[in-house]
Amino acid sequence: MTAEHIARDADITPVASLMAEPARAAMLTALLDGRALAAGELARLAGVSPATASAHLSRLLDGGLVTVLRQGRHRYYTLAGPKVAEALEALARISPRPAVRSLRAARQARMLADARTCYDHLAGRAGVDLLDRLVAGGFLRPDGEGYEVCPAGERLFADLGVDLPAVRRARRRFAPSCLDWTERRPHLGGALGAAVTARLIELGWFERGTVRRALRVTELGRAGLADLRAPAAAAASPSG
């Protein structure tokens, strides 16, 4: 197969050039926590003027990397979907990490490595640990490049308040493995990862921190995560 034929199959140049510009890369990274941001906030985070930010956002819109939500006179921007987030996370895994030059930067890096959102699902050490517990407990089993829910998992997710039938109807992959860019091990992605993460935040197991994308596990969450054991082990426990 020739290089010319490969280029026709998937021309990555336009998307790569959009992501490569530093201000646009900063904006896209800021949107990786799944929340919508106004142009002014994106300008501040990218360190550019409002006019420059507007021009960059227009290009990202035209390139299909972001979408805009209008509320009255206000416009809020989000990533165009999980595939854009997956591409950004993939780039993060093969990119050098920025040098840590201050105690504040070191603290922020540590918080993101501990627990963060990967677009809309749990990542960092907490995300990897959650997936390990779900697999070891017999709630999920590996299935190709993702995971399938075991009978014990059906009961667990129902108890947590996760609507599995609705999750299965979502127009995205159900439960793919997502390689964590800080841990270099998988966490749970896709529709199930998003639904579980949203529910754990609602239950108060995790709460959003002061650093964008960072999450903090609460005492309630530590207790809940510690109780994610195999059904047989839970039944044998005096507290089970």
AA letter at 89: E
pLDDT given at position 71: 86
What CA–CA distance (Å, rounded) separates 49 from 117? 28
Q: How much is the pTM?
A: 0.77
List 194's β-bridge partners, or say none: none
Phi/psi at 2 (5° precision) = -80, 160
Three-class secondary structure of residue 93 per DSSP: helix
pLDDT given at position 5: 52
From residue 77, how far is each of 74, 82, 115, 186 by CA, in Å? 10, 14, 24, 28
Q: What is the CATH number of domain 3-80?
A: 1.10.10.10
What CA–CA distance (Å, rounded) separates 231 from 129? 18
What CA–CA distance (Å, rounded) separates 156 from 216? 22
Residue with tokens 């998992």: 153
The domain spans of the chain are 3-80, 90-236
What CA–CA distance (Å, rounded) separates 107 from 86? 25
pLDDT given at position 182: 86
pLDDT given at position 232: 47
Q: What is the mean pLDDT of each run of 10 residues along the chain (240 residues)?
A: 54 90 93 89 94 96 94 90 87 78 81 89 94 95 94 95 95 91 90 96 92 91 84 47
pLDDT given at position 209: 79
